[in-house]
Amino acid sequence: MPAHRHLLLVVDDDPGSREALTALLATEGFEVATATDGRDALHQLGNGAAPCVILLDINMPGMDGRAFRRVQAADSQVGDVPVIALSGDPHIQDEVRQLCVRDYLVKPVDPDKLLGLIALHCAH
């Protein structure tokens, strides 16, 4: 399958989750960058990473997804990059909506739903 030539940024503290998402997305032809927490993601964005979508875990040690999203949304350079929030907690849906993310998925993530949302928010 030809590469999409679109970068996705996966922000998740769990190495297994990062690896699984990276493998799935790479198989679909996406370029994937990873970050271990919000601070790492902000660093990459500040150094020129230009993802078409950010896949953001909400609950992480260090800078969590909530704090990342507040900083990202306020930054005129990267604030408009679509964010798909991911969480293992099915009960934080209302909280996630307050973060003004584009979409939200509960872990474990359904690959077809995830790929559909990426296609929706990442123009090919």
- Does a structural domain hold residue 122? no
Q: Longest C-alpha distance within the chain, in Å? A: 38
Q: What is the pLDDT of residues 73-122, one digit of tens each?
A: 999 999 999 999 999 988 888 888 899 999 999 999 999 999 999 999 98
Q: How many domains does the chain have?
A: 1
Q: What is the pLDDT of residues 102-116, one digit of tens each?
A: 999 999 999 999 999
Which residue range is the domain that position 47 belongs to? 7-117
- pLDDT, residue 3, reads 45
- Does a structural domain hold residue 1? no
- pLDDT, residue 94, reads 85
Q: Which residue has the tokens 């609950």?
A: 59
- pLDDT, residue 2, reads 41
CATH number at residue 63: 3.40.50.2300
